[in-house]
Amino acid sequence: MTENVLSWMTFSPLAGMVVVLLLPSARHNLIRWVSALATLPPLLLGVWLYGHFDRANPGFQFVEKAPWIPTYNIQYFIGVDGISISMVLLTALLTFLCIFASWGIDKGVKGYFALFLMLDTGMMGVFVALDFFLFYIFWEVMLLPMYFLIGIWGGPRREYAAIKFFLYTLFGSVLMLLAILALYFTTEPHTFDMTQLIAQSGKYGTSVLPMWPFNRLGWGFQHAVWMALFIGFAIKIPAFPFHTWLPDAHVEAPTAISVILAGILLKMGAYGILRINYPMLPAATADLAYWFLGALGTWNIIYGALCAMAQKDLKKLVAYSSVSHMGYVMLGMATFTPQGINGAVLQMFNHGTITGMLFLLVGVIYDRAHHRDIDGFGGLAEVMPVYTGVTAVAFFASMGLPGLSGFISEVLVLLGAWQKYAILSILGASGVILTAGYLLWTIQRVYLGAINEKYKSLPEINGRELFTLIPLGIIVIILGVYPNAVLDLLRASLDQLNQIVIPHLS
Amino acid sequence: MDLGNLESLKFFYPEAILTGTILLLILLDLVLPGKKTLAFLAVVGSFFSLWATLELYQASPGWLFHRMIILDNFSLFFKVVSLAAALLVIWISLGCREINEIHHGEYYTILLTSTLGMFFMASASNLLMAYLSLELVSITSYILTGFLPHNRRSSEAALKYLIYGAVASGTMIYGMSWIFGMTGTLDYARISEVLLQGQANRVSLFIALVFILAGFGYKIVFVPFHMWSPDVYQGAPTPITAFLSVGSNAAGTAILIRFFFPAVSRLAEGGNWLFISGVEWPHFLLMVSMVTMTLGNLCALNQQNLKRLLAYSGIAHAGYILMGLVVLNNDGLKAMLFYIVVYLIMNLGAFLVVVMVANETGKEEIGAYRGLAWRGGAIPAVCMAIFLFSLTGLPPLAGFVGKFFLFAAVIKQGFYLLAVVGIINSVISLYYYAGVVKTMFLDFPEPTDQYITMTANTAALLGVLSTLTVFFGLYWGPLVQYTNQSLKFFIK
C-alpha cells in the first residue's frame, strides 16, 4: 500500500462512491458511515505521508508512472512535492470533516454522498497529477459533481449559482485545454509529462508574435500560453474581475460544499499557477507576473475586504473575505522571494482551515435560525457561549491576530512584498485593518450586545459540529505558534521554483 | 486491383446480404402475421452484413465494378458505422411507441435500403455513383420522415425535406456537370490526374466545387444548407431523427472526404494535403465551419422542443466535425472519423432517452423532463446527463476525447482563431445542454407529471450506450487505433 500511497488516497473515495451507489437509498445512516469510511484512508495515509515526506528533497516523491494511452504519450503519472503536499493534506482533512458536516442532509442522501466522493477524487487527483492530460481530466471531473451539489442541495438561487459556476469554470478550462495542446505540439517528442514540459521550457518561444494584439503588447508564444492558463486559474482563485461567480456559489451551496469550495477549490487556481505557469513558462512569468500579479493580488485584498464590509448576509461576508485573503496568496507569489512564496503557500493552507471553520460556523447558526442576516441576531455570546468561543478563534485567526496561523502567513507575504514592491506591501497591510474592521463589527453585531428575544432559546453547538471544528481550530493554533510544521514541507521545492524564475527577471 | 462485374461480386457480400434481407422483408411482410419478427429479421440480416464487412478487411483494396465503387479501409469503416447506426436504430424502434402503430415491413425495408445507400455513398469513386447513392439515401429519408400517418408535422417535414433536397441535389449535379465539362471524366482518379495538370480554369473549378458542396453539405447539415434540419428532426419519428442525425451525417462526411481529398487534392509528406492553388475551397469551408457551429449553438439556446434542440446541436456538431477537414491534414481527418463514432454513440443515446420519455408522456418538450430524476426516471436521467455532457465535451466522457483530437489537429496546424471560436462554442453549448440537465435534476416534478418506467429492452440499450460513452472517455486507445487505420484511401 505504501508504494501506491497517492493512488490509494485518490481513488478510495471513488471506490466508496461505487459502494454508496450500490446501497439501498433508504439506508441514510449506512450511506453516511460508508462515505466517512471512504474518506478515512486518505486522511490516515495523509498522516503517514506527513511523517515520511522527505523535507530536504525539492523534487517529486511517491511517484507512480504507468502508460495510459501510449499512442499519444499520455501517462498515469502522479507524485507530490513541496508545492502540492500541503494541499493534499488539506484535501484529505477537509473532505473527511465535511462528510460529518453533511450529516444533516436528508434529501437525496445517496446522490449527495456519491457526488461528494466523486468530487473528492477529482480534487485529490488535481493535486497529485503530474501528467498535464491527467491533470485536465481531474480538473474537469470536479465540475460535474460541484454543479449538482450546488444545484440540487443549494439555497433558493441554486440554479443560477450552479450554472454560473459551471460556465465560468468551463470557460477557464477550455482556454487551458488550448494552452495544453499548444505546449504539447511544441515539445519534441510530443508529451504531456509535466516534468518534461518543464525541462523543455526553453522551447516555448518568446519572440513577439507578428499579429494583433500580440505585437502591440510585445507578447510571444510563451506569453499567450501563459495568459490562457492564467485566465483559467484566475477564474478559480478567483482573481478580480473573474470573481463574480464566487459569492453566488458560496452563498447558495450547502455548508459542507462551501467549505470545500473555499477550502480546496480556490487553492487549485493558485496551485495551478505555481505548478504550471511558473516552472513551465518562466520567461513569461517574469514579464507578466511581476507587478501585474502583485497589483492584482493587492486589489483583491482591498476590494474583497471592502465588499465584505458591505454585506448583510453572514455567508456572503465570509465569501468576500475569501476573495480578500486569496489576494495575499497572489501578492506573495508575485514577489519571487523566499518569504513571499512560502508565505503564499502557507496562506493557501491557512485560508483552507480558517475559512473552512468560518463556513462551518455559519452553517451551525443557519441550521438553528434559518437565516444568516447579520443584523438579525445579537447577544449570541450569552445564548451559545461555546459556539461563540470557537467563532472567536476563527475570526481572530482570519483577522491575522498574532499567535494564530493567519498572522504568520500574512506577515511572510508582506515581508516578501516589502522587498520588491513597498507600495503594494503598504496597501496590502492596510487590508489587514479593513479585515479587522468588518470582522470585529460582525462580532459586535452578532455575538455581543442585547440578546435578540427570538433566539433566546437557541440550542448550543452539538458534539458532531464541534467534532468538525475542533481539529481545524487546533491546527490554526499550532500553526500560529509553530508554523514550521507546514513550512518545512514547502521550503525546498518553493526555493527551487523561485530559482527557475529569478534568472528571467530583468 | 481493378475488377469487372463478375469478379467484383465476391467483394460485394455486405451489400448483397443487405439487398437479400430487404427483398426477404418485402416478401415476408405479405405473409407473416407477427410484424415484430420482421424487426428481428432485419437485425439478423444487418448482423450478417456486418460480419461480411469485417471479413473484407482481409481483402486487398481496389476498384470494383469497373471503377464505380472502391474497396478500402475508409469505405469499410463507414459501412461499419452505417450498419451500427441501423442496428441501434432498429433496437430503439423496438421500444418506441410511435413506431408501433405503423407498417413494420415497409419501415424496416426502407431503413435498410437507406443503409444500403450509405454503403454506396461511402464507397463511390465516380461522380455518377456518388450522385445515385446520395439520391438513394435522400429518397428513403423523405419517406421515413413522413412515415407517421395522420401526423401533419411529419408530412410537413417530409415535404420540406423533399423540396430542400431537390434543390440541393439539383445544384450538386449541375456542379458535377461542370467538373465533367472541365475534365472529361467522372472517375475520381482521372479527375485528379486532369486537375493536377493545372489546365482547368480556377474560377469555374471553384464554382463547381461550391455547387457540389451544396449537395454534400445538405447531407452533413452545414450552414447555409441547414434550414431543413430543425423541422425534419422535429417532425420525423424519433428513431428516424436519430438515424438521420448520425447515419446520413456520417455518410455525407464520407462522400465529402472522398471527393475533396483523394480526388481534388494531393497528399504531400507529413500527412498534409495540398489543394489546387487558386481554388480556395478550404478557406471557404473554414468560414462555413465557424458560422455553422456558432449558428447552431446560438439557435439551440432558446429551443423548447428537445428534438429541435438536438437538431441545432447537430448543426453545431457538423461545424465541429468540419474543423477536421479544413486543416487539410491526416490528423484532422482521423479526428473526424473518431468523432463520428463517438457522436454516433452519444447522440443515439440522447435520442433513446427522448423516445423513453415520449413513450410515457407523449411529449418532446423540455417541460416533459421536469424532475425526471425524481419520478422514477433516475437512470434515464443520469444517462441523459452523461450523453449531454459528452456532447458538450466534458471529460471523462467520450465526447471530450473526440473534441480533444479535433482541437489538437487544429492547434497543430496553427488555426488558432478556429480553435478559439470552437472552444467558445463549447462553452455556449454547455448552457443549453445543462439547461436540460437542470430541468431533469434541479427542478422537482409536479403531481401531474407521469411516472417513468423502463422496459428491459430499452434499459439494456441505454446501459450499452452510456457505458460506451464513459468507457471511451477513459480508455480510447483501441478505438483510436481502429479509426486511424481506417484512414486509408485506395486512390491517393
In this complex, do A182 and B411 lie within 8 Å of one another by their Cβ atoms? yes
In this complex, do A141 and B475 lie within 8 Å of one another by their Cβ atoms? no
For residue range B212-226, what is the model confidence (pLDDT) as tens digits? 998 899 988 888 888
Cβ neighbours of residue A343 closer than 8 Å, sequence gap 6 or more: A328, A332, A408, A409, A410, A411, A412, A413, A414, A415, A416
Instruction: Determine which of A75, A177, A211 to mutate to test the interface with B (most B C-beta atoms within 10 Å).
Output: A177
**DSSP-H helix ranges across A187-291:** 194-199, 214-217, 221-236, 245-252, 255-260, 266-272, 278-280, 282-288
In this complex, do B396 and A140 lie within 8 Å of one another by their Cβ atoms? yes
Residue A212 C-alpha, separation from nearest chain B C-alpha, in angstroms? 12
Instruction: Determine which of B338, B433, B437 to mutate to test the interface with A (most A C-beta atoms within 10 Å).
Output: B437
Lookup result for grid cell 469499410: B76
Closest Cβ opposite residue B442 in set A70, A152, A184: A152
Residue B256: strand pairing partners:
none
Q: What is the mean pLDDT of residues B126-134?
A: 93
Q: What is the rounded distance in angstroms from the CA atom of residue A111 to the CA atom of residue A25? A: 9
Per-residue pLDDT of chain A (506 residues; tens, 9 = 90+): 677 889 999 999 999 999 999 988 888 899 999 999 999 999 999 999 999 998 888 889 899 999 988 888 899 999 999 889 999 999 999 999 999 999 888 888 888 999 999 999 999 999 999 999 999 999 999 888 999 999 889 888 888 999 999 999 999 999 999 999 999 988 888 889 998 888 888 888 777 887 878 788 888 888 999 999 999 999 998 888 888 999 899 989 999 999 999 999 999 999 999 999 999 999 888 888 888 899 999 999 999 999 999 988 889 999 999 999 999 999 999 988 999 999 999 999 999 999 999 999 999 888 888 888 888 888 888 888 898 999 999 999 998 888 899 899 999 999 999 998 889 899 988 888 999 999 999 988 888 888 878 888 888 888 888 999 999 999 999 999 999 999 999 989 999 998 988 888 87
Residue A85 C-alpha, separation from nearest chain B C-alpha, in angstroms? 25
Cβ count within 10 A of residue A200: 16
Residue B492: pLDDT above 70?
A: no
Closest Cβ opposite residue A141 in set B395, B416, B475: B395
Q: What is the mean pLDDT of residues B320-339?
A: 92
Nearest to B130 by CA among B47, B21, B213: B213
The percent of residues in chain B predicted with pLDDT above 70, rounded, is 99
Q: Does A231 touch chain B (CB under 8 A)?
A: no
Closest Cβ opposite residue A185 in set B394, B396, B412: B412
Lookup result for grid cell 486522511: A43
Contact B410, B404 (CB under 8 A): no
Q: Does A21 touch chain B (CB under 8 A)?
A: no
Residues of B in contact with A141 (CB under 8 A): 395-396
Residue B442 C-alpha, separation from nearest chain A C-alpha, in angstroms? 5
Number of residues that make up chain B: 492
- Please report the pLDDT score of residue B75 as a whole number: 92
User: If DSSP states are collapsed to H, E and C, what string results for chain B?
Assistant: CECCHHHHHHHCHHHHHHHHHHHHHHHHHHHCCCCHHHHHHHHHHHHHHHHHHHHHHHCCCEEECCCCEEECHHHHHHHHHHHHHHHHHHHHHHCCHHHHCCCHHHHHHHHHHHHHHHHHHHHECEHHHHHHHHHHHHHHHHHHHCCCCCCHHHHHHHHHHHHHHHHHHHHHHHHHHHHHHHHCCCEHHHHHHHHHCCCCCHHHHHHHHHHHHHHHHHHHCCCCCCCHHHHHHHHCCHHHHHHHHHHHHHHHHHHHHHHHHHHCEEECHHHEEEECCCCCHHHHHHHHHHHHHHHHHHHHCCCCEHHHHHHHHHHHHHHHHHHHHHCCEHHHHHHHHHHHHHHHHHHHHHHHHHHHHHHHHCCCEHHHHCCHHHCCCHHHHHHHHHHHHHHHCCCCCHHHHHHHHHHHHHHHCCCHHHHHHHHHHHHHHHHHHHHHHHHHHHCCCCCCCCCCCCCHHHHHHHHHHHHHHHHHHHCCHHHHHHHHHHCCCCCC
- Please report the pLDDT score of residue A92 as a whole number: 93
How buried is residue B158: exposed, middle or buried, by Cβ count under 10 Å (0-12/13-18/19+)? buried
Nearest to B455 by CA among B96, B35, B36: B96
Residues of A in contact with B442 (CB under 8 A): 151-152, 158-159, 162
At B262, the pLDDT band (50, 70, 90 cuts) reads confident
**Least confident segment among A440-444, B82-86, B265-269:** B265-269
- Please report the pLDDT score of residue B457 as a whole number: 87
For residue range B413-422, what is the model confidence (pLDDT) as tens digits? 888 899 999 9
Residue B423 C-alpha, separation from nearest chain A C-alpha, in angstroms? 6
In this complex, do B480 and A137 lie within 8 Å of one another by their Cβ atoms? no
Instruction: Determine which of B297, B379, B386, B394 to mutate to test the interface with A (most A C-beta atoms within 10 Å).
Output: B394
In this complex, do B434 and A147 lie within 8 Å of one another by their Cβ atoms? yes
Characterise B67 by phi-psi region: left (phi > 0), alpha (psi -120 to 50), beta (else): left
Q: What is the rounded distance in angstroms from the CA atom of residue A225 to the CA atom of residue A185? A: 12
Closest Cβ opposite residue B441 in set A140, A152, A167: A152
At B372, the pLDDT band (50, 70, 90 cuts) reads confident
**Least CA distance to A111: which residue of chain B?**
B378
Q: Does A18 touch chain B (CB under 8 A)?
A: no
Closest Cβ opposite residue A170 in set B416, B419, B427: B427
CA terminus-to-terminus distance, chain B? 14
Q: What is the rounded distance in angstroms from the CA atom of residue A339 to the CA atom of residue A345? A: 10
At B289, the pLDDT band (50, 70, 90 cuts) reads very high
Packed helices A158-186 and A143-153: angle between N→C axes, nearest 10 degrees = 170
Residue A244 C-alpha, separation from nearest chain B C-alpha, in angstroms? 17
Q: Does A146 touch chain B (CB under 8 A)?
A: no
Integer CA distances (angstroms), B463 to A466, B81, B352, B386, B456, in order:
44, 20, 11, 11, 10
Residue B79: pLDDT above 90?
A: yes
Residue B95 C-alpha, separation from nearest chain A C-alpha, in angstroms? 27
Give contacts of A 164-193 with B, CB under 8 A. 166-167, 170-171, 174-175, 177-178, 181-182, 184-185
Contact B398, A135 (CB under 8 A): no
Identify the three-state secondary structure at position A105: coil
Residue B384: pLDDT above 90?
A: yes
Q: What is the mean pLDDT of residues B31-53?
A: 87
- Please report the pLDDT score of residue A229 as a whole number: 93
- Please report the pLDDT score of residue A71 as a whole number: 83
Residues of A in contact with B389 (CB under 8 A): 144
Closest Cβ opposite residue A151 in set B431, B438, B484: B438
Residue A251 C-alpha, separation from nearest chain B C-alpha, in angstroms? 17
Q: What is the rounded distance in angstroms from the CA atom of residue A370 to the CA atom of residue B249? A: 54
b/e sequence A70-92, b meaning 16+ C-beta within 10 Å: eebbbbbbbbbbbbbbbbbbbbb
Nearest to B386 by CA among B428, B342, B449, B446: B342
Cβ count within 10 A of residue A420: 18
Residue A123 C-alpha, separation from nearest chain B C-alpha, in angstroms? 14
Residue A499 C-alpha, separation from nearest chain B C-alpha, in angstroms? 32
**Least CA distance to B378: which residue of chain A?**
A111
Contact A23, A110 (CB under 8 A): yes
Q: Tell me what the pLDDT averaged over chain B comes to.
A: 89
Q: Does A114 touch chain B (CB under 8 A)?
A: no
**Least CA distance to B472: which residue of chain A?**
A69
- Chains A, B: CB contacts within 8 A come to 72
Cβ neighbours of residue B456 closer than 8 Å, sequence gap 6 or more: none
In this complex, do B438 and A182 lie within 8 Å of one another by their Cβ atoms? no
A334: which DSSP letter?
Answer: T
Nearest to A348 by CA among A416, A405, A429, A296: A405
- Please report the pLDDT score of residue A1 as a whole number: 63
Residue B453 C-alpha, separation from nearest chain A C-alpha, in angstroms? 18
